[in-house]
Chains A and B, each alone.
Chain A
């Protein structure tokens, strides 16, 4: 009897030890980086950030002076808009939800289909898209040149007051690089505060990494692999399949893996905003999505108990660091 007890105790200690070791390895994969990356051609500076922030909130960047970048990437909605269909996209056949601008400093493929490969390249796209800000960069340069208040901002940022398309894009990109998620309770747990998240959320972390295999795509501290997958949604939108050769079947209906940080409580979720609760999202993954040739190889159906589903959602909620502390800028006068 004594021997059996000792063996059982040894087994328990061993398995707890192994489990803790696994857990520590997994947690270390979600450590936050120490610094914000920026390209050598556009280093982060306070002055450029100030200019970029002003431009970001200025509706005069749109033709009708009624829409700024912040209209759709609003601080009140975690730098998205909370809408299923973005403003101006109502008439589009395949509108896509507005992605958050947070943590975009780490992105190397932007937009849902990855058609921009840098924040600088992405920055001009909404300004010049007809159903968004509907302007053109030459006219914008001229318009900003007529606003006296921009002169000192450009001078501080670049050493002289010249306004160019490139400088506008660089400033907007720089400001967006500073939009970094606050530390959440999950981050505190990762760095060793065992009480930072509930036991339910800790179990959810295990489900996330093991049974549900969410981490196959939602990896790293930003919970995205910056990659493209068809997750089997019932949507005619070809996504990345529209911008790369048609014979690449695996990219048909593929969209960029979104971050899971700072999720809005009631969505909308998915590229088309078609889901409004995390329960709905989790069930979609459990079912495995529409079976078709382009379906991601990482989409493998699984089944969770009610408890596991609740644990998983409790875990996802620990990734919320709350709104960023940011003051809306005073716009320069003409």
Chain B
């Protein structure tokens, strides 16, 4: 085998190894990488969602109504997290800390009440 061919084979081996290793990492990341879920808030409700939230995912909640809201979230252990005030058109985020049942409510509009079950 001449030297040129040896170098070419070595180069191809390295490139292939790199590609395989990168693909493996990507697959690994897609399994555990947190996801951002979009959620809409109307005048008096959260719109229905179809996604399955998991721990460490983030909710990006957009206030699609024309009034302000003041969302707060009750954690499975009873801890309450206040998300301040959300003006019309604003998107705010909340990262889910752990699995369990959460309750999403609004201080201004008590009729807004949504239960969210989060998988591990």
| A93-131 vs B, Cβ < 8 Å mask (1 yes, 0 no) | 000000000000000110000100100000000000000
A-chain residues with CB within 8 Å of residue B44 when the two chains form the complex = 225
A-chain residues with CB within 8 Å of residue B13 when the two chains form the complex = none
The distance in angstroms between the C-alpha atoms of A228 and B109, with both chains bound, is 7
Q: Given A114-B110, A250-B108, A297-B68, 10 other A-B contacts at CB below 8 A?
A: A216-B67, A217-B67, A226-B110, A227-B111, A228-B108, A228-B110, A251-B107, A251-B108, A297-B87, A298-B68
State which residues 68-90 of A face B: CB under 8 Å.
Answer: none
CB-based contact A247/B67 at 8 Å: no
Residue numbers of B with Cβ under 8 A of A are 43-44, 66-68, 70, 72, 80, 82, 85, 87, 107-111
CB-based contact A108/B68 at 8 Å: no
Give me 6 A-to-B residue pairs in the complex whose CB atoms sit less than 8 angstroms apart, sorted by A's number: A228-B107, A240-B107, A247-B82, A248-B72, A250-B85, A250-B107
CB-based contact B109/A225 at 8 Å: yes
CB-based contact A248/B70 at 8 Å: yes
Q: How many A-B residue pairs have CB under 8 A?
A: 49
The distance in angstroms between the C-alpha atoms of A250 and B85, with both chains bound, is 8
Nearest-Cβ distance from residue A169 to partner chain B, whole angstroms: 20
B-chain residues with CB within 8 Å of residue A228 when the two chains form the complex = 107-108, 110
Which residue from chain A places its CB closest to the CB of B106 in the assembled complex?
Answer: A227
For A226, A229, A250, the residue with the greatest tally of chain B CB atoms inside 10 Å of its CB is: A250
CB-based contact B111/A248 at 8 Å: no
The distance in angstroms between the C-alpha atoms of A250 and B71, with both chains bound, is 11
B-chain residues with CB within 8 Å of residue A248 when the two chains form the complex = 70, 72, 82, 107
State which residues 198-233 of A face B: CB under 8 Å.
Answer: 216-217, 225-229
CB-based contact A250/B70 at 8 Å: yes
| A249-293 vs B, Cβ < 8 Å mask (1 yes, 0 no) | 011001000000000000000000000000000000000000000
The distance in angstroms between the C-alpha atoms of A247 and B111, with both chains bound, is 21
The distance in angstroms between the C-alpha atoms of A297 and B109, with both chains bound, is 13
The distance in angstroms between the C-alpha atoms of A247 and B66, with both chains bound, is 24
Which residue from chain B places its CB closest to the CB of A298 in the assembled complex?
Answer: B67
The distance in angstroms between the C-alpha atoms of A206 and B28, with both chains bound, is 59
A-chain residues with CB within 8 Å of residue B43 when the two chains form the complex = 225
A-chain residues with CB within 8 Å of residue B111 when the two chains form the complex = 108-109, 226-227
Residue numbers of A with Cβ under 8 A of B are 108-109, 114, 117, 216-217, 225-229, 240, 244-245, 247-248, 250-251, 254, 296-298
Known: A216-B67, A248-B72, A298-B67. A227 touches B108 (CB 8 A): yes
The distance in angstroms between the C-alpha atoms of A247 and B72, with both chains bound, is 12
The distance in angstroms between the C-alpha atoms of A108 and B82, with both chains bound, is 21
Q: Per a CB cutoff under 8 Å, which of A108, A251, A297 touches B67? A: A297
Q: Per a CB cutoff under 8 Å, which of B70, B85, B110 touches A109? A: B110
Which residue from chain A places its CB closest to the CB of B112 in the assembled complex?
Answer: A227
For B44, B80, B107, the residue with the greatest tally of chain A CB atoms inside 10 Å of its CB is: B107
Nearest-Cβ distance from residue A216 to partner chain B, whole angstroms: 6
For B66, B67, B72, the residue with the greatest tally of chain A CB atoms inside 10 Å of its CB is: B67
B-chain residues with CB within 8 Å of residue A250 when the two chains form the complex = 68, 70, 85, 107-108
The distance in angstroms between the C-alpha atoms of A104 and B79, with both chains bound, is 31
B-chain residues with CB within 8 Å of residue A296 when the two chains form the complex = 68
For A226, A227, A247, A248, the residue with the greatest tally of chain B CB atoms inside 10 Å of its CB is: A227
For B80, B87, B110, the residue with the greatest tally of chain A CB atoms inside 10 Å of its CB is: B110
The distance in angstroms between the C-alpha atoms of A298 and B87, with both chains bound, is 10
The distance in angstroms between the C-alpha atoms of A229 and B43, with both chains bound, is 15
CB-based contact A108/B107 at 8 Å: no
Nearest-Cβ distance from residue A285 to partner chain B, whole angstroms: 15
A-chain residues with CB within 8 Å of residue B68 when the two chains form the complex = 250, 296-298
CB-based contact A216/B110 at 8 Å: no
